[in-house]
């Protein structure tokens, strides 16, 4: 068990063996990794635990650089556990490089059906008992998809919870994947309009990029194709606090003048590759729609819902926008089958992803009846017009969880926890404890 020191903190590594399938506890086991963080000088104190659940799916927990960000507030009175959810980070990985050891695409898909919030929560319970004992309880902080996991935790294992804090992550309890994206595209369009109002020169600059991508094949450095649709998916940035500005600066670097005329610059293409590649979090793409599957809501598969629903919103058709002289709209947190043809990190997983898209009878992730009887203090930050999580769904779920207190704000975007320097966490703690 390695121990490290950083400015203001002491870090301790933990690894736990958990069942791949919690319904078969004597079967195959995998590992989950977690990093304990405590304020320097307080490592021997009996502090309450705060478990952090990262957004995603497929995102590893943050790698702290001393006492920074929201940890500044958390470490005032907690021992924090940063969990690498199964399949991510230093937990047993699930990537194009490791999944072939499972067998063919069908075997890989079966394996990955055990990587949703229900399994993550049962992992957390094994970790909790290992660190705190059978009767120990901890607080949980869930960001985005981590908030979805926290609601699953409240549904099926509330006995392990002291309090729950959710930021940008209250899911629709009865929303299908198609419902999610049908509500998402109008929000994404609003973020586009706001971006173009802020940077009107980007309208023609984006059209020029898309025009060039439509006329010739463009390969990103290190392989991978940049198509108009792939370029549009950079709109994922528009849901964060500084994302519009980051996107603008990226577009600024798009073209260079050469003897052959304007060409897309190497600098631009390199930055685009880094934004678009799923090499660091392939499960985000492979399992993204599966996180909405629940047999009591929709027994069928999620079926590439974002791609199917996109046809209902023709304003996102880049070719039509060029023909009509209209702004080209970026897309957002949407996963499409063509991504498994343009991204080298996803290409080997194309058949596996297709099988997961068609997978039926996903177990339910939430228990509305139990949530209605909830006794755990819960506080949630709901970001007004959050591009990633529907505000109407979040408010409905907040009303469905007994005792949940909300903070609805437009001061921050979806990344409020990360950028607020501890202010979002402090407010949620005070709400959960009745101090506000």
Could you give the residue numbers annotated as active site?
144, 386, 414
The token pair at 120 is 């993550």
> CA–CA separation, 186 vs 329, rounded Å?
11
Phi, psi torsion values for 166, nearest 5 degrees: -125, 135
Strands across the sheet with 378-383, in order?
3-6, 9-19, 29-39, 79-84, 49-53, 138-143, 161-167, 378-383, 405-409
> CA–CA separation, 396 vs 413, rounded Å?
20
> CA–CA separation, 200 vs 189, rounded Å?
15
CB neighbourhood size of 166 (10 A)? 34
Q: Which letter, b or e, does each residue of 332-371 get, where b requires 16 or more Cβ atoms within 10 Å of its Cβ? A: bbbbbebbbebbebbebbbebbebbbebeebebbbbeeeb
Phi, psi torsion values for 368, nearest 5 degrees: -55, -40
Nearest to 281 by CA among 36, 94, 58: 58
Burial of 399 (0-12, 13-18, 19+ CB in 10 A): exposed
The token pair at 187 is 């929000």
DSSP 230-258: HHHGGGGGGGSTTHHHHHHHHHHTSEEEE
The long-range contacts involving 273-276, CB below 8 angstroms and separated by at least 24 positions, are: 273/220, 273/221, 273/222, 273/224, 275/234, 275/236, 275/237, 275/250, 276/220, 276/224, 276/226, 276/230, 276/233, 276/234, 276/343
> CA–CA separation, 301 vs 289, rounded Å?
9
Q: Which residues contact 255 (CB under 8 A, 6 or more apart)?
A: 208, 209, 262, 263, 264, 265, 268
> CA–CA separation, 134 vs 129, rounded Å?
5
Q: What is the largest CA-CA distance in the chain?
A: 72
């Amino acid at each position: 068990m390695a121990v490290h020191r950083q400015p203001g903190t002491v870090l301790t590594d933990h690894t736990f063996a958990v069942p791949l399938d919690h319904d078969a506890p004597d079967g195959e086991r995998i590992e989950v990794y977690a990093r304990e963080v405590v304020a320097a000088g307080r490592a021997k104190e009996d502090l309450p635990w705060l478990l952090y659940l990262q957004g995603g799916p497929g995102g590893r927990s943050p790698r702290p650089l001393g006492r920074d960000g929201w940890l500044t507030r958390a470490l005032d009175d907690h021992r924090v556990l940063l969990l690498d959810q199964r399949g991510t980070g230093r937990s047993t990985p699930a990537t194009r490089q490791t999944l072939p050891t499972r067998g063919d695409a069908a075997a890989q898909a079966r394996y990955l059906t055990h990587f949703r919030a229900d399994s993550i929560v049962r992992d957390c319970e094994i970790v909790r008992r290992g660190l705190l004992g059978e009767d120990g309880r901890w607080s949980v902080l869930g960001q985005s998809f981590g908030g979805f996991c926290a609601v699953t935790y409240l549904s099926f294992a509330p006995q392990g919870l002291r309090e729950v804090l959710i930021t940008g992550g209250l899911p629709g309890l009865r929303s299908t994947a198609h419902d999610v994206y049908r509500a998402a595209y109008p929000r994404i369009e609003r973020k586009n309009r706001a971006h173009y109002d802020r940077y009107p020169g980007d309208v023609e600059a984006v059209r020029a990029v898309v025009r060039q991508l439509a006329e010739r094949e463009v390969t990103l450095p290190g392989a991978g194709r940049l198509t108009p649709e792939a370029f549009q998916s950079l709109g994922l940035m528009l849901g964060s606090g500084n994302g519009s500005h980051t996107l603008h600066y990226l577009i600024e670097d798009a073209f260079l003048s050469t003897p052959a005329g304007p060409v897309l610059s190497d600098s631009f293409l390199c930055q685009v590759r880094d934004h678009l590649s799923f090499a660091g979090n392939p499960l985000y793409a492979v399992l993204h729609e599966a996180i909405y599957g629940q047999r009591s809501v929709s027994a069928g598969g999620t079926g590439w819902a974002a791609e199917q629903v996109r046809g209902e919103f023709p304003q996102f058709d880049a070719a039509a926008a060029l023909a009509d002289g209209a702004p080209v709209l970026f897309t957002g947190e949407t996963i499409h089958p063509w991504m498994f043809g343009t991204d080298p990190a996803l290409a080997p997983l194309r058949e596996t992803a297709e099988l997961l898209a068609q997978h039926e009878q996903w177990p339910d992730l939430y228990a509305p009846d139990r949530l209605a009887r909830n006794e755990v203090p819960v506080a949630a930050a709901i970001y007004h017009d959050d591009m990633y999580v529907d505000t109407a769904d979040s408010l409905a779920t907040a009303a469905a969880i007994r005792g949940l207190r909300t903070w609805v704000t437009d001061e921050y975007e979806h990344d409020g926890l990360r950028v607020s320097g501890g202010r979002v966490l402090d407010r949620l703690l005070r709400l959960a404890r009745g101090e506000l």
